[in-house]
Structure 1
Amino acid sequence: MTEIAFILLERPVTWAEAALGFAIASLALLVIVALSAWRGGSQRAFEAAMAAERAREMDDKVAEMSRLQAELTGRMQSMAEILSTRQGDLARLVADRMDGLRQQVGAGLEQNTRQTNESLGRLQERLAVIDTAQKNLTSLTSEVVTLRDVLANKQARGAYGQGRMEAIIRDGLPSAFFAFQPQLSNGRRPDCLVTLPGDGRGLVIDAKFPLESFTQLREARGEDARKAAGSRVRNDVGVHVKDIAERYFLPGETQDIALLFVPSESIYADLHEHFDDVIQKAHRARIMIVSPSLLALAIQLMQSLVRDARMREEAQVIQSEVGKLLADVRRLGERAEKLDQHFRQAQDDVAGIRTSAGKITSRGERIVALDFDDAKAEPTLPFAQGLALKNAAE
């Protein structure tokens, strides 16, 4: 038994140790088998109990589903009855709505027909207006042709520019602040002289802008013709600017700046676009070239200055009147104080009168209380002496 049976992990194992190990392994195997059998029985019992519980829950659910099905059947019947009732109500409501819609459609068609007739009537009126406008357009075309003829004439063109300038100034300023064709101290007559409040010097506005050179520039076809026309524009405008500076700048009488009115916006735009040197030359000479829109803007600015000056004058008048009003209020306060003093004096006088009246009443009551019929009364002082003594005692 002590003989070596085999070597396990470099350790010699005898036959006795091998038999003992085999026995121990067999015992452990038997224990494991017994435990497995016990666990298997417990698992089967647990599974049987779970199956029974599931069956019971299934029966309960089936019973609940049966009950719910019965309730659902009852509700379906109730809903069928309600739906049949509602369907009848809906049919009646639809019929009523259709009748109302039919009436509304009829009324709408009648209204549309009436509106269509009215629109046709207004359209005929508009056509009549259009016919009138066409006639006016024909007349305007003839007037434009006449205007072109007017602008072709130098004197007529100057009168047109003067008239347009006068219209702009009359619309923006009171008549007291401007004058047309006034005579200056040197005998010259500018087209317009505007006098601003607070400054006795007038602002000169000239409306004689040379337009012939611009007309020649627009009608030029070749490069040489355009250059010649451009040179004429520069020369004519420069000469006119020089004339304004020499004629209308009078120290102490006119402003040191003047306005040169151009009666056409397109000519003003061409001048600024192609002849900037002419504009700069005019600025150096203190001459501002203005178009109708710029002149209207300048007139609005002057109007605001005039309005401010008038407001200042009115403010001074208001201040003076307020001062007078305050003086009147002070006098009213003094007179009210004097009247209050009179009232207090009158109250004191009335109180004195009441006091005197009380004394007179009390004395009268005492006189009434005297007994003149008592013959047995003791001899007294004379009545006058007694009354004097009483008064002295009081």
Structure 2
Amino acid sequence: MLYLTIVVIMLLVGLFIYLILTQRRGQKGQDTLLIQQQVNDLREQTTESMSQLSTMILRTNEALGTRVDNATNALTQVQGQLQQRMDNLKQQSSTDFHQLTEQLSQRLQAQQEVLSKTHETLGGRLDHHANIVKDVHGKLEGLFQATQGVMELKRDIVSLQEVFRAPQYRGGVGEMLLEKLLKDALPSDLWASQHPFNDGTRVDAVIKLDGKLVPIDAKFPLDNFKKFINAKDDAERKGARRAFLSDVKGKIDDISKKYIRPDEGTYDYAFMYIPAEGVYGEILALDDSSGEALLNYAWTKKVFPVSPNTFWAHLQAIHFGLKALKIEERAEEVIENIQTLKKNFENFKKDFDTLGDHIRKASGKHDEARKDLDRFGDRLEKIESLGSDTAGDKDIGATHRAALTEPAVSTTPQPPTRPAPPATSL
């Protein structure tokens, strides 16, 4: 606004100079008056404009002063707030720093204590570990000596394995394990070993169930299985697998033909006892070239392969089944005994009710007799009281009569007075 005012003033001054120059060039006379009048008008307008401009400048200055004062006050207020915040922040920082210093000091002290305890613990553990190492060293020496004994035992076991490589010895071990399992699971009257058939054939063991027999064979071929396990390449493994599959099928057929004899009292199925869980697992996974599982083939022949664990479960089921049969056999006897007890209980109930009636009647008679006895006692008391009163009256009258009849002085002895007769009952 100030710059605009200066520009207007400069324009007016320029116009004034222009008019003066024009006047000097010869415009005199009437033009001079006109110019003079115009100059006066221009001067008045300039004066008025200057007055308005001064007023505007004053107002502007006042507004600017007010704004400057407001800005100064706001700045002062902001400065005060900033100073207060700085003071608060400084105080808070000082407090936080003090607390942090204390916490760090406490933590450092705790860490020092932990390190001290850890040092002591490590020292104790190192001593303990040193003792352990010393003990281990001694035990290793003993273990070395024991290893020497194990090596000797290994040689003995190898010799024993050479003995058991013959099929008949392996069969004997399988029969021994089977017999031990049967002995642990069933009573002795429910199984038998080396059961003979009519043609002289013997089965390793039988289970006696409801008058029939379940044959069990414990001889199992393991030669080709060992070759299958110890094969060095796939070709050798496949050949040994086929041979082992053929051995197992042959054993299944042999058991089905030799030991399943319903005409001689056996059931139409038999167990093939496999004394090793690993062999049993391989048998479950075997199948022939057509894809038929070996287990399905065994089932079609009514032969059930079992391992020590699965056979134990079968024996437990058989044992519980036999217990259920015995309970069922005695169920009728138990029912008869219950019926007899029920009749006895009913008879006892009748006798007890009769006895109760007699007791109630006797109690009633006892109450009646008690009442009669009480009435009789009351009567006796009344009679006794009446007798006492009558005897007293008679004694008094006799005394008065004697006093009237006897002389004043008498030396003659008097006979004794007869006592009053006893009171009679009413």
The 3 A distance-change label for structure 1 pair 362 and 188 is same
Instruction: Find the aligned partners of 2:244 and 2:85 in 1 and give their Cα distance.
Output: 110
Q: Which has the larger radius of gyration?
A: 2
Contact 2:203 2:217 in 1 (8 A): yes
Aligned: 1:308 with 2:308? no
* Corresponding residue number in structure 2 for 1:354: 370
Contact 2:261 2:267 in 1 (8 A): yes
2:187 pairs with one of 162, 171, 174:
174
* Corresponding residue number in structure 2 for 1:256: 268
SS in structure 1 at match of 2:272: strand
State the shift of 1:362 in Å.
Answer: 2.5
Cα deviation per residue 1:229-274 (whole Å; 9 max; x = unaligned)? 9689848964883475146514151111223344454488379345
Amino acid at match of 1:204: P
Instruction: Find the aligned partners of 1:91 and 1:214 in 2 and give their Cα distance.
Output: 73
Gaps of 5+ in 1: 1-40, 377-382, 388-394
Cα deviation per residue 1:265-315 (whole Å; 9 max; x = unaligned)? 448837934577895765554334x25x2x541342232121232145357
1:323 pairs with one of 298, 315, 338:
338
State the shift of 1:74 in Å.
Answer: 10
The 3 A distance-change label for structure 1 pair 202 and 115 is same
Aligned: 1:208 with 2:222? no
Contact 1:248 1:254 in 2 (8 A): yes
Cα deviation per residue 1:93-145 (whole Å; 9 max; x = unaligned)? 67975785466345523542454356436645764675477456535643552
Instruction: Find the aligned partners of 1:106 and 1:57 in 2 and give their Cα distance.
Output: 68
Instruction: Find the aligned partners of 1:222 and 1:79 in 2 and give their Cα distance.
Output: 79
Amino acid at match of 1:354: R
Contact 1:238 1:282 in 2 (8 A): no
Contact 1:150 1:157 in 2 (8 A): no
Q: Determine which structure has greater relative contact order: mean sequence separation of CA pairs < 8 Å that are 6+ residues apart, divided by chain length.
A: 1
1:195 pairs with one of 192, 199, 208:
208
SS in structure 2 at match of 1:254: coil
The 3 A distance-change label for structure 1 pair 144 and 190 is same
Instruction: Find the aligned partners of 1:332 and 1:268 in 2 and give their Cα distance.
Output: 66
State the shift of 1:349 in Å.
Answer: 4.4
Instruction: Find the aligned partners of 2:265 and 2:93 in 1 and give their Cα distance.
Output: 106
Instruction: Find the aligned partners of 2:97 and 2:231 in 1 and give their Cα distance.
Output: 91
Instruction: Find the aligned partners of 2:253 and 2:242 in 1 and give their Cα distance.
Output: 16
Q: TM-score, normalising length from structure 2?
A: 0.53
State the shift of 1:201 in Å.
Answer: 1.3
Instruction: Find the aligned partners of 2:357 and 2:263 in 1 and give their Cα distance.
Output: 67
Instruction: Find the aligned partners of 1:343 and 1:164 in 2 and give their Cα distance.
Output: 73
State the shift of 1:158 in Å.
Answer: 2.6
Instruction: Find the aligned partners of 1:214 and 1:340 in 2 and give their Cα distance.
Output: 85
1:123-142 superposed matches below 5 A: 123-124=136-137, 127=140, 131=144, 134-135=147-148, 138-139=151-152, 141-142=154-155
The 3 A distance-change label for structure 1 pair 252 and 82 is closer
Amino acid at match of 2:192: A
Count the aligned residue pairs: 329
2:286 pairs with one of 272, 295, 315:
272
Contact 1:173 1:299 in 2 (8 A): no
Q: TM-score, normalising length from structure 1?
A: 0.56
The 3 A distance-change label for structure 1 pair 305 and 259 is closer
Contact 2:217 2:255 in 1 (8 A): no
State the shift of 1:189 in Å.
Answer: 1.6
Instruction: Find the aligned partners of 1:125 and 1:320 in 2 and give their Cα distance.
Output: 69
State the shift of 1:181 in Å.
Answer: 0.7
Contact 1:169 1:296 in 2 (8 A): no
Amino acid at match of 2:314: L
Quick check: 115-124 or 187-196, which moved more?
Answer: 115-124
Instruction: Find the aligned partners of 1:342 and 1:149 in 2 and give their Cα distance.
Output: 92
Gaps of 5+ in 2: 1-55, 397-422
* Corresponding residue number in structure 1 for 2:310: 297
SS in structure 2 at match of 1:187: coil
Instruction: Find the aligned partners of 1:66 and 1:232 in 2 and give their Cα distance.
Output: 102
Q: Indicate the RMSD between aligned Cα atoms, in angstroms.
A: 5.8
The 3 A distance-change label for structure 1 pair 188 and 135 is same
SS in structure 1 at match of 2:196: coil
1:1-394 superposed matches below 5 A: 97=110, 100-101=113-114, 104-105=117-118, 107-113=120-126, 115-117=128-130, 119-120=132-133, 123-124=136-137, 127=140, 131=144, 134-135=147-148, 138-139=151-152, 141-196=154-209, 199-210=210-221, 234=246, 238=250, 241-242=253-254, 245-246=257-258, 248-263=260-275, 265-266=278-279, 269=282, 272-274=286-288, 279=294, 283-288=299-304, 290=305, 293=307, 296-311=309-324, 313-314=326-327, 320=334, 323=338, 327=342, 337=353, 340-341=356-357, 344-345=360-361, 347-370=363-386, 371-372=389-390, 373=392, 387=426
Instruction: Find the aligned partners of 1:203 and 1:310 in 2 and give their Cα distance.
Output: 18
The 3 A distance-change label for structure 1 pair 157 and 106 is closer
State the shift of 1:150 in Å.
Answer: 2.8
